[in-house]
Chain A
């Protein structure tokens, strides 16, 4: 009964804060092994121009493990090496901190005004307080050198605040419907392109005793994804983005209808009877072991689906989410987009030189992340050989090439406080405690307070 004692809890918080401050304070001298490689590279390439003096850039990211197989990590480290090779006169000191502690670290560093020159961040709500606190450099003027022409339109939306640009996009991550072709054949169901076909497929699958859709709502964000895509199909991306950025309302007939459609799927046991108590991992395993026929999920599951241990390898096809008749959104509007990037410190000296390094780094990372199978490139670049790529990633790249709009992850678009409020209302709704009407009203009043 007495494991966590409140005093100790307070203490832990304080110590955590103090430690992050300390780490921050030492950040400048705190190079890791990557750093020493940088020195080696700089020495070897021998392209040193005498005119340019050596420049030291500090960089923080959440890519802590150089050996990770995750596409984002692979892309990051390849881009970092390429940047070091390209700019021998620049010494990049990279510090990687994994997971949630990275967020704590940058927040603490920001409070102490100890942020590094370049640091990783999430667009939308996470960055907002940093920008309000004048911690991030606006790159409007710097990007006028033609950089913006090389970028896929719409991918910078999440880095624009008060019509000022603060970051360059890396890659486009989308959520799509993954369909297990084998189970669909068994049930004699058609791969759905419209809402009615989706409902028909769900009935056919249920008749065969197959769970139609895997959904792990216990972790909350998977439940959010379904609400998001249905809202995108009903109201269109512009209306959804407006609601998320507090320039529009959640309490509209379209949002309510999207929630009603969600409820229709829930009531039909499309996600199984226990989806509220099922975790993301459990749901993913259900899909990977061929026990569920569909899953609406981000591209990060590509690797797991095509893994040698996966029971559904080669049996899965990604499709655009079905359209809803009467809805304002079309099939080329996607849930997802570009939201993670690196930004520059507002107090930067040597802006122009660091900008060159930054631009090259982001562009390279964009390409490498795509080749690593983790989302399409946000830059119009020739990526070269794609024969070794994950087939699902390639198919998704083709599907999303005709995209006309993106609406990014709700829990990134909203700030931390609104995200928690949104999750609170959402979970009450999916657990059947509120009606679609009350849910959208509550969402509006809790998330868009005073709008």
Chain B
């Protein structure tokens, strides 16, 4: 092994093809988008160079009434929900399952099912649940005599955003749970035996042993949850597409609509570039925060 890693030719043979592929399909399109974002281009006629005008319009003028800033807030809201709702629920489930309950494997599979099922299936399923006339939710409320609680869930301004976010948060609980579950399973059993001998309660054990020991995975989960929220697309696109009322729009649906419905390649590319920068920014901030936290732990 040592020899292979020391051999520069060997490194090149293994790394270069992947690197080229990555640059071609990962890095180059980003540069291309950056270039497109400086153009006024409908995809058909010759493009016009307009510099940063699209960015200015996006955040300040909002000529097209898309309210991009609002859509960014939506994703930040989703990120908060993910970190403070989704991850705690996933953690509790993982703690309970990993410390052994009856039917552990069955529950583990059940909670993971939403991750396996395609987003389009989940989107359509929740469309049916929320459907105002015959949807499951309103039907149940009516049966229970709670007709006043029924709503046009996905279109009323008060309920639309949260109704869209519930399935998003729900879908990935299983994913985070499985990551944490695997981490917990990796903790040596003798630590728990020692805790038991010392008379620690299971809650005490969780906070003093399990959670500190799986903190690397928790950090990964937080980063995944936040970055995933910032660039979220599929369920929103399927359930509301950001309309009929614009409360549920996210940057990626606006980007899609700019490029494919409005024929504004430059404007849409500016949104795409913003999302790249935004994700990069949050990634660095989170890394920094976590590192500061680690330093404090160690001192």
Q: Which residues of A contact B (CB under 8 A)?
A: 1-7, 9-11, 13-15, 100, 104, 107-108, 110-111, 129-130, 132-133, 135, 217-218, 220, 223, 272-274, 276-278, 282, 286, 415-417, 419-421, 423-425, 427-428, 430-431, 433, 442, 446, 449
- A277 to B29, alpha carbons, bound, how many Å? 37
A-B contact pairs, 26 of them (CB 8 A): A1-B82, A1-B86, A1-B175, A1-B229, A2-B225, A3-B234, A4-B233, A6-B279, A7-B26, A10-B272, A10-B276, A107-B43, A129-B45, A133-B45, A274-B133, A277-B131, A277-B152, A277-B155, A282-B131, A282-B133, A417-B262, A424-B66, A427-B245, A433-B157, A446-B64, A446-B65
Q: Does B263 contact A (CB under 8 A)?
A: yes
- In the bound complex, residues from chain A placing their C-beta under 8 Å from that of B264 are 417
B185 shortest CB reach to chain A, Å: 23
- A373 to B176, alpha carbons, bound, how many Å? 54
- CB pair B275–A6 under 8 Å, yes or no, is yes
Q: Which residues of B contact A (CB under 8 A)?
A: 25-26, 28-30, 32-33, 42-46, 63-66, 82, 86, 119, 130-133, 152-157, 168, 172, 175, 224-225, 227-229, 231-234, 243-246, 252, 255, 257, 259-264, 272, 275-276, 279
- CB pair B155–A431 under 8 Å, yes or no, is yes
- In the bound complex, residues from chain A placing their C-beta under 8 Å from that of B152 are 273-274, 276-277
> Chain A: interface secondary structure?
helix
- Closest A residue to B134 using CB positions: A282
Most central of B152, B246, B259 by chain A CB within 10 Å: B152
Most central of B25, B133, B243, B260 by chain A CB within 10 Å: B133
- A423 to B249, alpha carbons, bound, how many Å? 14
- Closest A residue to B257 using CB positions: A420
- In the bound complex, residues from chain B placing their C-beta under 8 Å from that of A446 are 64-65
- A108 to B260, alpha carbons, bound, how many Å? 12
B88 shortest CB reach to chain A, Å: 14
- CB pair A9–B231 under 8 Å, yes or no, is yes
Indicate whether A4 sits within 8 Å of B234 (C-beta atoms), given known contacts A9-B252, A278-B133.
yes
A45 shortest CB reach to chain B, Å: 39
- CB pair A13–B259 under 8 Å, yes or no, is yes
- In the bound complex, residues from chain A placing their C-beta under 8 Å from that of B119 are 3
- A420 to B268, alpha carbons, bound, how many Å? 14
- In the bound complex, residues from chain B placing their C-beta under 8 Å from that of A133 are 44-46
- In the bound complex, residues from chain A placing their C-beta under 8 Å from that of B261 are 416, 419-420
- Closest B residue to A100 using CB positions: B260
Most central of B63, B132, B259, B279 by chain A CB within 10 Å: B132
- A431 to B160, alpha carbons, bound, how many Å? 13
- A6 to B44, alpha carbons, bound, how many Å? 24
B286 shortest CB reach to chain A, Å: 14
Instruction: Select B32's contact among A14, A419, A433, beta carbons within 8 Å.
Output: A14
- In the bound complex, residues from chain B placing their C-beta under 8 Å from that of A132 are 45
- A427 to B263, alpha carbons, bound, how many Å? 21
Instruction: Select B44's contact among A111, A220, A274, A420, beta carbons within 8 Å.
Output: A111
- CB pair A6–B168 under 8 Å, yes or no, is no
- In the bound complex, residues from chain B placing their C-beta under 8 Å from that of A2 are 172, 224-225, 227-228, 231
- In the bound complex, residues from chain B placing their C-beta under 8 Å from that of A282 are 131, 133
A406 shortest CB reach to chain B, Å: 25
